[in-house]
Chain A
């Protein structure tokens, strides 16, 4: 599982980005997205396009954590979102690892709404890494988001930080990395 985490300011400007991989189950914490290295803009593209859904979901969902809101089937990328009171939004893109699997036929019979990509495998569906929409994943993302939110509030209260500025505090970055390592 590879993750791409972004905080967007209310004007949709990214104020914090980080890409990391899973540390669970022997993961080394390095992101391996399915796009070639030259196409890393795709992550941002997908996140940007999911703002459409986010804008809709924020009015229909009561919580701050909106859970899984959007999917980009061609790359099997899943987006979870979290709202903050100041209008900043946390968006987490997670992408299961690409495992070539000749045995499983195309995902026709499986759940259609998620547009399961034909060449992904879900392996054992109990772990976070393999089931991006399962309740365990959802819970883990919630924990992660909450922890990041705490750090974000503390960072935003710093007298040197103005709203909308890019967050370049190394402390914040370390905390996000730690939260990622802990939960995802």
Chain B
């Protein structure tokens, strides 16, 4: 989905969109066009947290595009089988806030598509103002595919997804980023912290913005900062051998109509990407889809020529081709049909810090910072991406999963496979015992390269992992979790610890994401044990703090979204994150907020008064407020504080006074400090124009300050000593005793 914070994302082109599907998806964010331009993008998201779920009636098929491809439009999507989509996610509505997070996590694991463009294509695109070439042009549009995407799972039922997307990566950068894979440990976490800090700085800088107002009643709202943190964390990990989410599922090979020898160039690009020195590292499976794109220059070249060439391409390379018609001149804001290019949602921390996404903060729009595109170009790109995904990438992935499931996984699941595994494990011999006999632990498969720490891509272990990842990206969580479950012991046997950790992590995630397993009781102990194993392997055996943190953070969020007693488990893991010291100071406070949110989302069981965790949530909120204040962010502190008051409202007496005097003193002091600093941070402007726009209810606060005096009015009630009536003993102890220090004795 287009992040609502991205100021003005693709406006549905007025001339092209007669009731298209994209309109429907846009209506999710009704308050998108609020006139708060100075608010940072991320912070604006808070208010859309309660966005209504999109109507299911949004149709997929018709898109307002000028498609040059003569292929018949999406055969499958023209008959949308919405059979199972009513199952949508049973969580919707029940836990409004967590649905966001689930979607965020799901979208974080999107298929990766590498982009490899010829020099002339990059040249053409560079003229349009995109310095990074073709990849940079299409990247923001890949993150959301307009309309629905229908995916068939392993048992043949289909399901439509509104928020599908792919991640375009630069082919040239793909291997290299992975090669320089060992920067000093934790630096990536430090980068995340830095991004958060930057974000906070810019948020505080823009003065007088309304604080991320969390919903008051539907408490478990997620602060935009937490979302930013999660997003950063999830995009911080580059392609690695032990998980294939970063490996390309497909690669787009692009040439332009300016090319002199188009077919030869395509061949050459293919060869370079497969065998040449630009090829991907050994641990990447080379069997990915190739997709050929011809970029036609509308202004300089002849369309008949290009069509002819395109037909030729199809003859040579098969059906995975596309003719993309773009105008070659640069679009400026003053042009009639200019559309701002949306910002990438999934920028890695490095990119954030190097300022890729920072163009938005420039005041002079229309400067080189914010690129614009012609309306026609945008719709052409979108239709290209939709065709790429719906007609090529997803069928390819479905096909691979089916084949692997058939050839590799079912053999493992079958009786002989079990026998083989067992014999390998116990006897130390097996079908593939190249080195297994003398191996420690009695029989590893020998497929694991202990020198370089990876499996070659054609070994069953690697293929099963890839299949599970594909199933995960196709959102078939049932198959994914069962596959992860199946390969976990193999990795343990081989002492492939990173693989081991990754399989545990993803097993938990897919198990918790599976909406069908909601009703059937997942054993929380199993989940806990797997998280424990996963993060132990990451942290202690591999010293990979980033992945460990990712594992724990995902577990926290997903357990929290489960509700019930899982929330306590979530809170426990969140505390564990702080305990391990995986996060910096800001991250620490964020996790304190998460603990509070976890406890707050535990609702009382069946209308009973007990079972909630309001006091715990309130305590963590107060402590988080104190920490925010210490860190110098009074606005956030006051937000936390306000939240705590709402939480405590239920458990304290009507006058909101803590029964314990020391807490009361502390809270009073904190309240005062927060108020003072908050007003100072805003330059006392709140005094000048008092209650009009002050969103924090400081009036309410000041009223509460003198509430203490009222305590005395409660004294007089006579207490009953006859303890028969338990409910009736409302009398407080006399307060007029001079010394309050009885607890110090």
Contacts and interface: CB of A to CB of B under 8 A. Distances in A.
7 interchain residue pairs of minimum CB distance: A17-B743, A55-B610, A13-B659, A41-B662, A162-B719, A86-B723, A41-B666
Interface of B: 528, 532, 535-536, 539-540, 572, 575-576, 578-580, 609-616, 618-619, 622-623, 651, 653, 658-660, 662-663, 665-666, 719-721, 723, 726, 729-734, 737, 742-745
A23 interface: no
A115 B576 contact: yes
A40 interface: yes
Given A8-B659, A85-B723, 5 more contacts: A41-B666, A52-B613, A112-B528, A115-B572, A165-B733
A180 interface: no
B576 A48 contact: no
Given A19-B743, A105-B540, A49 B619 contact: yes
B578 A48 contact: no
A108 interface: yes
A13 B732 contact: yes
21 contacts: A13-B733, A16-B742, A17-B742, A41-B660, A48-B619, A52-B612, A52-B613, A56-B610, A85-B723, A106-B580, A108-B535, A108-B539, A108-B540, A113-B572, A115-B579, A117-B579, A162-B719, A163-B721, A164-B731, A165-B733, A166-B733
A165 B615 CA distance: 24
A172 to B, nearest CB: 11
Given A49-B615, A108-B536, A108-B539, A165 B742 contact: no
A97 B58 CA distance: 61
A10 B659 CA distance: 11
A14 B732 CA distance: 10
A85 to B, nearest CB: 7
B585 to A, nearest CB: 15
A120 to B, nearest CB: 11
Interface in A73-115: 73-74, 85-87, 105-106, 108-109, 112-113, 115
Given A13-B659, A87-B729, A41 B665 contact: yes
Contacts of A161: 721
Contacts of B578: 74
A47 to B, nearest CB: 8
A40 to B, nearest CB: 6
A109 B539 CA distance: 12
A18 B579 contact: no
Contacts of B732: 11, 13, 164
Contacts of B734: 165-166
Contact of B742 (A9, A45, A118, A168): A168
A64 interface: no
Contacts of A28: none
B592 to A, nearest CB: 9
B743 A115 contact: no
Nearest to B568: A53
Counting contact residues on chain A (CB < 8 A from B), the size range is: 35 or more
A52 B743 contact: no
B599 to A, nearest CB: 8
B575 A10 contact: no
Instruction: Among B653, B665, B733, find the residue whose CB has the most chain A CB atoms closer than 10 A.
Output: B733
Contacts of B745: 17-19, 173
Contact of B743 (A14, A55, A74): A14
Nearest to A107: B579
Contacts of B612: 52
Nearest to B539: A108
Contact of A14 (B575, B651, B660): B660
A52 B614 contact: yes
Interface in A1-27: 6, 8-19
A71 to B, nearest CB: 9
Nearest to A43: B662
B645 to A, nearest CB: 15
Contact of B532 (A12, A49, A55, A108): A108
A87 B737 CA distance: 24
A179 interface: no
Interface in A131-156: none
B246 to A, nearest CB: 27
A56 B614 CA distance: 12
A44 B660 CA distance: 7
A73 B572 contact: yes
Nearest to B626: A39
B579 A73 contact: yes
